[in-house]
């Protein structure tokens, strides 16, 4: 089982290597590809390429809207407000 997990992890790292050139960014992108979040929020310019955006929804930190009174952040996505 451990060998299968290693191969799966390498698959994401190899895919990330094709998408970004920076060594440390590859590890971050591999984790993002593995998790498949609704949005990947980053200010790092290396993730804001068309190739990366085809794989994951990338949002720039400056584009993030903080919650409004009705608890909405991204359009159609509810957030926890801690109450």
Instruction: Report pLDDT for 63.
Output: 82
Helix (H) / strand (E) element for 13: namely helix 2-19
Token code pair at residue 52: 């990366």
pLDDT in tens, 19-49: 999 999 999 999 999 989 988 989 899 999 9
* Domain range list for the chain: 2-63
pLDDT in tens, 44-80: 999 999 999 999 999 888 887 665 555 555 555 544 3
CA distance 32 to 70: 29
Instruction: Report pLDDT for 14.
Output: 94
- Taking 90 as the threshold, does the pLDDT of residue 1 lie above it? no
CA distance 83 to 80: 8
Strands in the chain per DSSP E: 40-41, 58-59
Q: Which residue has the tokens 């994401």?
A: 12
């Amino acid at each position: 089982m451990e060998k299968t997990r290693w191969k799966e992890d390498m698959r994401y790292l190899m895919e990330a290597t094709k998408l970004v050139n920076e060594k440390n960014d590859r590890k971050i992108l591999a984790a993002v590809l593995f998790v498949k979040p609704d949005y990947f929020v980053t200010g790092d310019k290396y993730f804001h390429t068309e190739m990366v955006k085809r794989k994951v929804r990338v949002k720039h930190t400056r584009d993030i809207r903080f919650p409004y009174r009705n608890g909405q952040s991204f359009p159609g996505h509810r957030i926890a407000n801690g109450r």
